[in-house]
Structure 1
């Protein structure tokens, strides 16, 4: 039995709650993962997992063992990079998931600079607006706008997305230019509705000016759950959009979008980077976090104190 493989397999079963999921994320067969855990239990003479036909639960002994081996596995990674003849630079695979507009407009264009600094880090990036199962899908970290739904995750606020309202000239020529946000509730106007992939729901847009607060639901002809497609719909003239500054900037400069209600305020959307609990922050993850913080400081700087920090 390879003890390192066995400990890794056991840790992934605990984190995913499934032998099948653990096998998929480790690129092993389910049989191999099962055998490794069984061999580990035999060697320790302890039952680490309770198995039923529907789920896998960690035993009390297994929970204690898991907490320790997470530290051991992290320490082994650190040892490998700290040897005198080893590269001083962090290396290895890093699995991240980010919103599609953030990937296409900010992160990917800046990656040549990241890889110039850290050529031995291989990024597996998911670009989507869906809710990712960070632990079940074996993702090292995610970046998301808005509150982190899974409060068990460790998180660091890395930016604030300044929001504003926009529409295409073709839309305004057809529907007229509204002068007050409340006009967007009329039959005359349409919005493009952003639908959260996790729930299928949209949300009300809250705007304020001189003590007046307006909540806009609006009527729509298109509801969509991808940020890039949402932007494309607005540029095509399908309705009014609420966009972060980094998504709108180029299209405003080109004349494809026109800002609306510029004297009204919209609360900034916090941008968080989150990673699984009970997982050591490796060198490769830490330098990626630091790079994201620096990048966001240029494009979406914090407008208020950050929340829960990575430690």
Structure 2
């Protein structure tokens, strides 16, 4: 099974290289070249096997939504010369991620189930069930860790630590709510509910830009709209399109990224199942048929497509 595990290029005028959990990032004085590999991470751990087409799915969904939201906030994207590559404006990233939640799911539910009624300084009402709609969307920021786990942080703590100025943070909050509203509208048009997501922002020449990916299965959670109400009423699990199914499989097999825990075996069948789920999400969230790239000579093909536009 072919998949893109990593790249090792030298692009013109390259000044740095960073290998993230799923992206290989090449930097020139003015641009960032992001290669979306097929690596899969969960609980802030890169899993041992890459997932065919995952990087293409992430890159193409992100590009579509960046174009659809540029009237709300300017974004970093300049061009996508390859199905797995985005090239954009080099920005200084804010050291926090803006997580926004419309429903009590995933990490927020695990915190709530453990008895906590405040997340990132925001109080939650009693009596909520898993996947219930929140009274209104809430922003639950996290610190942005290059290694290890991102940590929940409150608005007050962000300002106290001067991680972001109050003027900029107010803008980040406003952009986050507007982007979430737009993402919710687009999702509903395709029969989905945008449950929660995260946005990252940066600055260039004193201006705030939306950076990285948006509304992808790695950064977002979606439910199917047509079965949501009935499943909630009956106490059934929600059918969802997100990376949460990977986390659930890992939890069921005794892995949550904690010291001493063993990652369960990823069989060919499991890798193929995860790949198909990513493709399903692409088609559902975009309303378009997925066109898989060819993996023959894929690394050299990516490199040639980058060199074609980066001089």
TM-score normalised according to structure 2 size? 0.23
| Structure with bigger gyration radius | 1
Select the structure that is richer in helix: 1
